Structure 1
């Protein structure tokens, strides 16, 4: 076989790859540059490019015209995790390639991506690119530039990472409780690996320009300590080792903050010796931290001043954000939804996933709850299984479609029994609610059940949870009156979500 024939066969095989590109954005200037670079790239073209505008509001973005089909979606300013979820759920290809809007791709990026994905077996869920951060050659890197440079050693970076869509569906996509571009990619990768998949290192190379975030950028970055608390809650105390990271400085920051607080407290109490000793300890710890940041940098007057000031502010900021994160994950809450006529339109004994239609406002209501860190579940009576109207496989396919359109949900609890079987799980019995609360490790009094009929509210009351009724055409007048007296009534699912956040 000639070399030319071999190349032709390889090109045809790569061309058969099915992939979409998802780019979450807040409208940064580099977005247009990135789209033009993709347009000029050599290699098998994507099925489409999906740009997800994560600004809270505003006119649609003006995007350059490119040869690939392009869609622009909105995610409502809920952060990159929610934006990426919006993008991949709208895609219908085997692979979804995520790019950040501030990266720079090479002239052969589509070719390299296709080669990285070609031949990956079903046990491989993702391919990650090699990230390069160019730094100035005529001087040492600043603190901000070194922070960006750390991306080069990170294990899983969705600045350029392609996922098999079925794996995203299986694990529920990105956890939207991560509100910023920090840890959400490592969390997803860990969950994908725990599901039994592998992640492959690709050979494509993508450039990520160094950031310069202003005088207090390093202090603002301490908000990520709240996300570290969520990582620890989800993946255990050794999560840093699992993600390939070294130990953090939180313990040293806590000691610095404690000595500073002791110095101020002792001074206020008139204990000058204690205050002086504590102040000296604080100064030593802060000086050590500042020098560690100053020593490798350019050591200009502006950089030294910034490092000195921010080194004093970072320890208390880091500790405050970590405490905030720990409180958030240690006081869990959950909202449990009925499925039919609450989250999706009611189709009697639904067995066809193609007939799944979300209720108006359902996606937005779920997004609001996820952004507040609320765990979500579904509690649903499905007696059609016992009656023989559909099979277990039919039910799983329908629920998978609900997950695809509206997920992720942290738990699905389904009663498969007929009414005359006298089980303890069929609503209005409390079994589904109690089981969901147990699996989510949420006290049942921190659960809210949202449904459209009296049985949903009665199940919540029997379990010790709160109930919110969203009436539909099926809801009886007496059920509405009983809910007004014993629980709460909302006009629609969006209002129910807002009310749930108020009572939790």
Structure 2
């Protein structure tokens, strides 16, 4: 075992349908080369699951199992976990993700720099059903994973992906927690709660930054229902809607800074790559991927407009 910084790990769960996934997530944290000070499992308004997880895990000494007494949803559950945490650093892992054995060791790298407010790692899709050939890697954020266009090496980013992030406790003490009116509730495919929080933190500490550390790896299970065209479209629309809520709250200049680069650089490259695959390699799925990028961007834009006008 490697000695490291004191870190609390928060895992939020809401459904028995992910029971095996939840146990795997907890076990992956228990097996870390750098152990967590505590593992906090927050059950989101599900008494049966709360009792079930108590029976299964209460014998593990550094596990704290709590019921979310705040507003239902991922933001409320995370805020509940934050209040329980005792460590100066709080890491978040999704209940359907599995951390690599050196996850905590790698994700804390860079924290000796006091300007680093938090660190996020790579989120690798673990497909339970192979994605369709039309699915563009530029849109892996649709399934909560690291997408094409992200840095290949450690780099400053606007915000980590919520499935794999570590934040300093001071963030919550100075700017508050995750907003309950932003973020996923059950299966509703909205999000961006970590985006909004990190922008607030940067506004409070203008010299601060968030770091991307691809060596800190988790695998994120992607069920078959999230590989469909319907889910792709719904998630793109919901992303735009969520970004509109953020822009109205904190301003579009900060709220859409990363999206401008993504739109002007990453997406055109993806479209050209798809067209080249079709024309030069006779990979006709390339045309489908290019079309999916255009459709995904269009739906995200529509969602943003609707969210901004409402």
TM exceeding 0.5: yes
Q: Which residue of 1 aligns with 2:187?
A: none
CA contact 1:145–1:210 (8 Å) conserved in 2: no
Q: CA RMSD, aligned part only?
A: 4.2
Q: Which residue of 1 aligns with 2:96?
A: 102
The Cα of 1:124 is off from its aligned counterpart by 3.0
Match of 1:157 among 161, 184, 191: 161
TM-score calculated relative to the size of structure 1 = 0.44
CA contact 1:103–1:207 (8 Å) conserved in 2: yes
Could you tell me how far apart the structure 1 residues matched to 2:294 and 2:83 are? 42
Could you tell me how far apart the structure 1 residues matched to 2:213 and 2:302 are? 38
Q: Which residue of 2 aligns with 1:382?
A: none
The Cα of 1:311 is off from its aligned counterpart by 8.0
Match of 1:207 among 218, 231, 234: 218
Q: Secondary structure at the match of 1:176?
A: coil
Q: Secondary structure at the match of 1:46?
A: coil
1:325 counterpart = 2:289: no
1:174 counterpart = 2:178: yes
Aligned pairs for 1:207-226 (under 5 A) are: 207-209=218-220, 211=222, 212=224, 213=226, 214-221=228-235, 222-226=237-241
CA contact 2:107–2:216 (8 Å) conserved in 1: no
1:188 counterpart = 2:197: yes
Q: Which residue of 2 aligns with 1:112?
A: 106
Q: Secondary structure at the match of 2:165?
A: strand
The Cα of 1:35 is off from its aligned counterpart by 1.0
TM-score calculated relative to the size of structure 2 = 0.68
Do the aligned partners of residues 209 and 97 (structure 1) sit closer, same or farther apart at CA in structure 2, a change above 3 Å counting?
A: closer
Q: Secondary structure at the match of 2:191?
A: coil
CA deviations 1:391-429 (Å, max 9, x no partner) are xxxxxxxxxxxxxxxxxxxxxxxxxxxxxxxxxxxxxxx
Aligned length: 267
Do the aligned partners of residues 141 and 191 (structure 1) sit closer, same or farther apart at CA in structure 2, a change above 3 Å counting?
A: farther
CA contact 1:187–1:231 (8 Å) conserved in 2: yes
Q: Which residue of 1 aligns with 2:209?
A: 198
Q: Which residue of 2 aligns with 1:475?
A: none
CA contact 1:171–1:192 (8 Å) conserved in 2: yes
1:93 counterpart = 2:75: no
Q: Secondary structure at the match of 2:197?
A: helix
* More moved, 79-88 vs 204-213: 204-213
The Cα of 1:215 is off from its aligned counterpart by 3.9
CA contact 1:218–1:310 (8 Å) conserved in 2: no
Could you tell me how far apart the structure 2 residues matched to 1:323 and 1:245 are? 16
The Cα of 1:327 is off from its aligned counterpart by 3.5
> Which consecutive unaligned segments of at least 5 residues does structure 1 have?
1-7, 250-287, 329-504
1:68 counterpart = 2:62: yes
Could you tell me how far apart the structure 2 residues matched to 1:146 and 1:60 are? 35
Q: Which residue of 1 aligns with 2:251?
A: 236
Do the aligned partners of residues 323 and 18 (structure 1) sit closer, same or farther apart at CA in structure 2, a change above 3 Å counting?
A: same
Do the aligned partners of residues 314 and 171 (structure 1) sit closer, same or farther apart at CA in structure 2, a change above 3 Å counting?
A: closer
CA deviations 1:172-224 (Å, max 9, x no partner) are 12222213252221221111111113323446421334634134112211122
Match of 1:59 among 31, 48, 71: 48
Query: Which structure's relative contact order is higher, taking Cα pairs within 8 Å and 6+ residues apart?
Result: 2
Which one has a bigger Cα radius of gyration?
1
Q: Secondary structure at the match of 2:201?
A: helix
Q: Which residue of 2 aligns with 1:398?
A: none
> Which consecutive unaligned segments of at least 5 residues does structure 2 have?
152-156, 185-189, 265-270
Could you tell me how far apart the structure 1 residues matched to 2:105 and 2:301 are? 45
Could you tell me how far apart the structure 1 residues matched to 2:8 and 2:259 are? 29
CA contact 1:26–1:53 (8 Å) conserved in 2: yes
Could you tell me how far apart the structure 2 residues matched to 1:312 and 1:95 are? 39
Q: Which residue of 1 aligns with 2:76?
A: 82
Do the aligned partners of residues 183 and 68 (structure 1) sit closer, same or farther apart at CA in structure 2, a change above 3 Å counting?
A: same
CA contact 1:225–1:322 (8 Å) conserved in 2: yes
